[in-house]
Structure 1
Amino acid sequence: MAPSLCTDDVTGTGKSGSVKFNAKQHLAYSPPSNILKMKDLGKSPTVLSPVASTEPFPLLSHDAILQHRSEIFSGDVLDNCMHHTRPGSVQIRGMAPRYASFIHEFWHSPEVLKIISENAGVDLIPAMDYEISHTNVQLGPGGLDAVRKTPLEPPAATEEAISEFEKHKPRTRAITDQTRPIIEWHRDSHPFVCVVMLSDAQHMAGGETELKKADGSTLKVKSPQMGCAVILQGRYITHTAAPAANMPERVTIVTSFRPRDPTLLDETTNSNVRNKSHLTELYFQWTTYRLDVLAQRAQIAATELRDMYEKNVNASDPEGKNGLCRVETVEVKAIEAWVEDQMKYMKETLHEMRPLGQ
């Protein structure tokens, strides 16, 4: 039997928070065998990327899996960060960096961001700290109480589970049944997500992700194995996940990403997360990230105007002196359009903090 989780034991290295991310120790990356494009779903590429989804690929080493599980299922995290929003599962979110320093460091590391960005086709950063390692836990017969007894080492399949898996393996599974949903059909709040399996899925029946194509038909992406990841442009693809039918647990983590470039389209929302978050913290992180993007956009616009001004001075003033440039530098219509875009961006920022239920 796998050992019960001890919140003061972090993969044998001491108290929680003592483990530091080390790429050589904590990454087991191999590139995905295939990358599904938006055109494969009958959709046009978005302005961010032509990538729809990767095939599952190895990402976390076993040490990294254990460290994620140790921090996620610690007493502090379960006491403060667990939300029970549907009958079949719970969500654990908002634990980093306060209760999960390793998880925070892992998903902010240059090595991990390079892997995510190269496979997504656009340079990405975590959307907000609150959206790092959002955890979906499928509830079993033990219900909520059993979550607190989640073992550090992922439990292996029983002989009965393996038999069930082998019996149904040749069968084509329809996974749109929502009678026991892990999550309903939805689009994500953020442009890209990286989903990682933290459970032993070698003999898991179910657990696949299903994507809706433009014609209404669906396409299945196989469930990742333990430590493996799938990158999905989930803001623009309607999708769902199947429950695991035969395993003692199904634990997945989802880290959400947005473009690093502040000038790229940012249609991030809080639509799927406001009812499973501490809004005081979420809204602080949300507002400051949006203001930071606005400030970066303003700085870029100001720099472009200064560069244009210098060009105009050099081309029109025999002495090359600033202070009386008679060539038009500011295109008022262009500035008007820029201002309207930023006003829309900030109005959307406010809209995403509307009262729950609206």
Structure 2
Amino acid sequence: MDPPAAIESTATTEPFAPAVPSKMMTPVQFDPAKHLSYSPPSSILKMEDLGLSSTALSSVASTEPFPLLSYEAVLQHRRELFTPDVLDNCLHRTRPGSVQLRGMAPRYSPFIHQFWHSPEVLKIISENAGVDLVPAMDYEICHTNVQLSPDGIAGVRATPVEPPAATEDAIAQFEKDKRKPQAVTDQTKPIIEWHKDSHPFVCVVMLSDARHMVGGETELQKADGTTVKVKSPQMGCAVILQGRYITHTAAPATNMPERVTIVTSFRPRDPTLLDETTNANVRNKSHLTELYYQWTTYRLDVLAERARIAAEALRERYEENVKKTDKEGKKGLCRVETVNVAKMEKWANEQITYLNQTLYEMRPLGQ
């Protein structure tokens, strides 16, 4: 799966450049009737199918590819992604064969921001993931992986809004290779190495014409070391993966003029659920001033909500104790235990660990 990046030690970041104004575009508002083309996945791979245990969040490992974006939505994503503003400010070099676009929403990509925050899209993602999810952070909306052509960065800047179709040679290679047995992804020229994601769930969408694409599959590692491939999604189709807990990679496309995929990362909406989100794969390919602001505020919001829920539970327990033990039902001198100190200590230590992890994920690069 094409996640938010992967190896900190080898990736480099494009130097920050002043924005070059893009051509004025008519704002497009998200319309689910126009921009969604959803059909449920034909099957869902469970964690046990990989020999893995269900996590505290879900038993879902990965969906089969399923239709999600309409053609109009694909074009609007591409229209907002490949603008001078995004390419000048949000492009990061990651590996010799690929670049990534990160952090464009909402500033440069308002439609993309609306799309991935919409109740309709979140309902689809959550139902298929088996847990109620929200975008991890705005910075992790529509992380874009672009496989470089021989034209390099210049080719990225020339990316058309209309996805290019396969050439006759590409179709011939597709017809030849589709009869070959699938092999483990060749890692001599990977677009992404074997890895686990920084966020619990990701939704990966293909923005290229993949009808005749050779390669492009997601490969998952099972508990016994063997692997299983999830076929590459077609244009506008999505795959949902619990990528934080599954080692996986993505095969490069070998015959197409482009391979553009977008990845939006998700975390549980419920602040009391397990949250093992990290910045491990993204710190060295982000503008840290913005990433750390979004990271810190999201973590503090989670802590504040956890504290509110804990305090409300204590108030309710106190009310019950007063009713049971005070003939007059008066507060102020309840003589039975409301606060279980051992449980409170456990809760407090969990929040301290959460805070310490919040700080650790903002350590200097290279550590």
Measured against the shorter chain, the TM-score band is over 0.9
State the match for 2:125 in structure 1.
Answer: 116
SS at match of 1:125: strand
Q: 1:257 aligns with which of 266, 269, 273?
A: 266
**Separation in structure 1 between the aligned mates of residue 184 and residue 145 of structure 2, nearest angstrom:** 18
Q: Which string of whole-angstrom CA distances, capped at 9 and with x for unpartnered residues, describes residues 256-285 of structure 1?
A: 000000000000000000111000100000
Q: Which string of whole-angstrom CA distances, capped at 9 and with x for unpartnered residues, describes residues 282-333 of structure 1?
A: 0000000000000000000000000000000111111111111111100001
Cα distance change, pair 51–71 in 1 and its aligned pair in 2 (3 A)? same
> By how many angstroms is 1:177 displaced?
1.2
Question: Do structure 1's residue 80 and structure 2's residue 98 form an aligned pair?
Answer: no
> By how many angstroms is 1:178 displaced?
1.6
> By how many angstroms is 1:176 displaced?
2.1
SS at match of 1:53: strand
List 4+ stretches of structure 1 deviating above 6 A: none
Cα distance change, pair 321–198 in 1 and its aligned pair in 2 (3 A)? same
> By how many angstroms is 1:7 displaced?
5.0
Question: Do structure 1's residue 354 and structure 2's residue 354 form an aligned pair?
Answer: no
Q: Is the 8 A contact 1:138 1:250 kept in 2?
A: yes
Question: Do structure 1's residue 302 and structure 2's residue 277 form an aligned pair?
Answer: no
Q: 1:21 aligns with which of 30, 39, 49?
A: 30
Cα root mean square deviation, aligned: 1.0
Matched residues, number:
347
**Separation in structure 2 between the aligned mates of residue 17 and residue 288 of structure 1, nearest angstrom:** 32
State the match for 1:218 in structure 2.
Answer: 227
Amino acid at match of 2:283: R
State the match for 2:288 in structure 1.
Answer: 279
State the match for 1:59 in structure 2.
Answer: 68
**Separation in structure 2 between the aligned mates of residue 17 and residue 126 of structure 1, nearest angstrom:** 26
State the match for 2:151 in structure 1.
Answer: 142
**Separation in structure 1 between the aligned mates of residue 200 and residue 52 of structure 2, nearest angstrom:** 15
Identity within the alignment, % = 75
Amino acid at match of 2:30: F
Amino acid at match of 2:217: E
Q: Is the 8 A contact 2:184 2:227 kept in 1?
A: no
Question: Do structure 1's residue 197 and structure 2's residue 172 form an aligned pair?
Answer: no
**Separation in structure 1 between the aligned mates of residue 199 and residue 182 of structure 2, nearest angstrom:** 29
Q: Is the 8 A contact 1:35 1:53 kept in 2?
A: yes
SS at match of 2:111: helix
> By how many angstroms is 1:136 displaced?
0.2
**Separation in structure 1 between the aligned mates of residue 49 and residue 26 of structure 2, nearest angstrom:** 43
State the match for 2:190 in structure 1.
Answer: 181
**Separation in structure 1 between the aligned mates of residue 266 and residue 181 of structure 2, nearest angstrom:** 32
Amino acid at match of 1:143: G
State the match for 1:11 in structure 2.
Answer: none
**Separation in structure 2 between the aligned mates of residue 16 and residue 349 of structure 1, nearest angstrom:** 38
**Separation in structure 2 between the aligned mates of residue 7 and residue 23 of structure 1, nearest angstrom:** 26
Higher relative contact order (CA 8 A, sep 6+): 2
State the match for 1:105 in structure 2.
Answer: 114
The answer for unaligned runs of 5 or more in structure 1 is 1-5, 9-14
**Separation in structure 2 between the aligned mates of residue 328 and residue 43 of structure 1, nearest angstrom:** 41
Q: Is the 8 A contact 1:190 1:268 kept in 2?
A: yes
